[in-house]
């Protein structure tokens, strides 16, 4: 679970999972100070980091070194009725065999965040009264 707390700066929000702390903020055009990640950047980071971890775990189990592995994710809102999370994978290895590349790209879709974001989702809310 992630818990947020407002900071004194306008729109800056600290978030924590109880062990780690991060900072999110709005862009200056919206009154923020850009002191932390934009909320959509956190969504992109979630998919990118999970995809990279999933690929790396699979590659490690098979003894395939991927020292330059990079995953880039962009939330494309150009069509508001159908936004898309686009990602590119750079294995960082020029001589990786085509069949291994294909397997690793398939493994990328097994990332738990990818699976969760690919399903229909409902967002529920409640108010906590103190």
Residues paired with 72 in a beta bridge: 88
pLDDT digits (tens, 9 = 90+) for 19-62: 999 999 999 999 999 999 999 999 999 999 999 999 999 999 99
Domain ranges across the chain? 1-37, 39-118
| CATH, domain 39-118, list 3.40.50.10490, 3.30.300.20, 3.50.50.60, 3.40.640.10 | 3.30.300.20
CA pair distance 69, 71, nearest whole angstrom: 7
User: Who's near 108: CB < 8 A, 6+ residues apart?
Assistant: 51, 54, 55, 71, 87, 89, 114
pLDDT digits (tens, 9 = 90+) for 95-111: 999 999 999 999 999 99
Burial of 78 by CB count in 10 Å (0-12 exposed, 13-18 middle, 19+ buried)? Answer: exposed
CA pair distance 91, 111, nearest whole angstrom: 16
The answer to pTM > 0.85 is yes
């Amino acid at each position: 679970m992630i818990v947020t707390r407002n900071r004194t700066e306008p729109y800056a929000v600290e978030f924590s999972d109880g062990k780690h702390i991060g900072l999110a903020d709005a862009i200056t055009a919206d009154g923020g100070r850009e002191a932390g990640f934009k909320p959509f950047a956190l969504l992109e980071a979630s998919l990118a980091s999970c995809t990279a971890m999933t690929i790396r775990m699979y590659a490690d189990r098979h003894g395939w070194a991927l020292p330059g592995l990079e995953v880039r994710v962009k939330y494309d809102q150009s069509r508001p009725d159908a936004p898309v999370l686009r990602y590119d994978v750079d294995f960082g290895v020029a001589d990786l065999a085509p069949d291994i590349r294909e397997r690793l790209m398939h493994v990328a879709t097994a990332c738990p965040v990818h699976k969760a974001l690919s399903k229909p989702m409902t967002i529920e809310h409640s108010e906590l009264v103190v």
